[in-house]
Amino acid sequence: MDTSTIRSIKELPPEENMLPGTAACAGCGGLLTLRYCLKALGDKIVIVNAAGCFTLLTIYPFSPFRNSWLYTAMACAPAGAQGVRDALDILIKKGKLDPEENLKVVVLSGDGSAYDMALSSTSGAIYRNLDFYYICYDNEAYGNTGFQHSGASPFGSRTGTTPPGKEVPVGSQLQKKNLFDIWNSHKPPYIATVSPAYPVDLMNKFKKAEQFKGPKLFISHIPCPPGWGFDPSRSVRLAKLSVETGLWPLKESVHGEVEHTYVPKKFKPVEEYLKEQERFSHLFKPVRQEDALKSIQEMVDEYWKKHELLP
């Protein structure tokens, strides 16, 4: 891939490495992210897919991918990637595979796998300096099994297992895990957060990552129309609002050094993002939960103050 920086969406590669007509939900932000990721990675890849929403994309004999695809359980996609990488390396070493035919190994997982079940498997893969790409589509719950709470579910959200009620009106009382920092503590070559609403930023991060051998992570915050409760046509708007309110910082880390790749000139109030989703509607009606709303805004402000980027 040409590693020069692109400046506009018009410069995105025209090639499509994912075909239309998938079984994904209408307006799935993860599908849009994946489309951009595959534009960046090209078709000489093998995808190791942890069980999740995107397992449904490939149902025999149909597949939207132009490349090879391997299904694994939720907890072991990084281990599966290790096996694929080892097999490729052995075939090349024995002269049975031309190095020109080498494939990039890509793990594709939802947040349930990335934040929870596969965390030990992932830590081991990073520790072994496995040369692979890890793409996490983060819709902040176990999306294809009833939208149950995951380690990525945010404070104050309604999920299938954290319904707001008389005893706990706020919904989820837990804070979202920080997967970026968990990975960064291992000091891998490259980590980034991305968004389907910022494809140029996403593409340039893949271009930068290509120069590094070793573990490379891309976490995409993705709107989920049925889980979050909004019209599918507003998916990109929600993705953009999560960045413009400061809830989803766009950043990258090279060997542990973190830099933000986009900082809004003026941060929008988090309420603009929360109000558009059914999963947060209990924070506004029948009674506004001022303490919870204030807590969410303060959490965002503290993050940007810590990095000295709040105007």
CA angle 291, 221, 248 (to 5 degrees): 50
Residues of the chain with pLDDT under 50: none
What is the pLDDT at residue 4?
A: 78
Domains of the chain, start order: 14-307 (3.40.50.970)
Residues 6 or more apart whose CB falls under 8 angstroms from that of 256 comprise 184, 187
Average pLDDT, rounded, for the chain: 96
> Residue 229 is encoded by which pair of tokens?
């409760």
What is the pLDDT at residue 1?
59
Which residues make Cβ contacts (< 8 Å) with residue 139, sequence separation at least 6? 29, 30, 53, 110, 111, 222, 223, 224, 227, 228
φ, ψ at 72 (rounded to 5°):
-135, 170
Per-residue pLDDT at 311: 72
How many C-beta neighbours within 10 Å does residue 68 have?
Answer: 14
- Per the DSSP assignment, residues forming a β-bridge with 134 are 107, 217
What pLDDT does 3 receive?
67
